[in-house]
Amino acid sequence: MDWLLDAETTAHKLALMVLAIALFAVVMGGILFAVDKPKRVPQWVVVLGFLGPPLLLLLVGLVYPALRTLVSSFQDRSGDGFVGAANYTAIFTNPELLLVLRNTVLWVVLVPLVATTFGLVYAYLVDRTRFENLAKALVFLPMAISGVAAGIIWKFVYEYRPDQEGINQIGLLNQLLVWLGLEPRQLLLDQPQNTFFIIAVMIWINAGFAMTVLSASIKAIPDDITEAARLDGVSGVEMFRHVTVPSIRPALVVVLTTVAISTLKVFDIVYTMTGGQFGTSVIANEFYSQTFRQGNQGLGAALAVLLFVLVIPIIAYNVRQLRLSEEIR
């Protein structure tokens, strides 16, 4: 009977696939017919044919889940009873959740600032040098690695073995400590510095993104500006401070806000390296833990809403700065 059940399941899946293809063909056929015969079909029908499917997908895949999450954030852990703002109160009063908020603030402040600063200085130093392409490629390489892969790589870098005779350190950082005559440390367990060691992984990944965008902006600075500055005796640090940075300010804003948004949503690196334990959890990781591990749907939904609210001002600031830069141009 098992093979029969599998056959029925396969046939059912095939039928659904054929139905989906048929519906897609009908929709696309209707759109093409409306475009081909615009005089016979009202304009609103053509507009609806083009905008209807994506709007429907947005409604089902984005708007409805967002509203459902908002409603769940005011319910209890099972999602049945109404508890008002109790979940939000718990976020800002529970010591463990306050630690999560503190960690998130550290991530959002340190990662964008350090990654952008490093990317900017590095892009400026290697600009128009002999080995520019190779130097940029080395920094950009981490961008090609997923967060999970980066977490695994750096987990080996931070690996700890007890300092006993006959036991060798396999973690690069702890081996360096041993060579320097220091004691190896449990870098991912000891609080609060373990959070900073994980933050370093995110900086390592995003520095390449910052360097690439800012390098393109530096190359786009008109030669007239730099030549005029040199004629005025500006060079070195003053050129970087008074000419380069003001000229690429819109790009800096984009990089800072983009890295900040990706940092707010960080989950894979924390989950891979510590699972959010030992005081390293952040909002996205805690949302997953509360919802799927501890079964507290209400608190998990409240954390998801809080994450959404935190992203809004960053996006609004980014859009405002882009509009201002366009008006200046």
Q: What is the pLDDT of residues 168-207, one digit of tens each?
A: 778 888 888 888 888 888 889 888 899 999 999 999 999 9
Cβ atoms within 10 Å of 278's Cβ, excluding its own? 16
Q: How far apart are CA 137 and CA 132, in angstroms?
A: 9
Residue 61: the pLDDT is 85
- The C-alpha angle with vertex 125 and arms to 121 and 127, in degrees rounded to 5, equals 115
Please check whether residue 119 is in contact with residue 211, taking contact to mean a CB–CB distance below 8 angstroms. yes
Q: How far apart are CA 28 and CA 22, in angstroms?
A: 10
Residue 3: the pLDDT is 38
Residue 6: the pLDDT is 46
Q: What is the pTM of this model?
A: 0.81
pLDDT digits (tens, 9 = 90+) for 81-112: 888 889 999 999 999 999 999 999 999 999 99
Q: pLDDT below 50 — which residues of the chain? A: 1-7
20-39 b/e (C-beta count within 10 Å ≥ 16 → b): eeeeeeeeeeebeebeeeee
Q: Is 227 helix (H, G, I), strand (E, B) or coil?
A: helix
- The C-alpha angle with vertex 167 and arms to 166 and 173, in degrees rounded to 5, equals 140
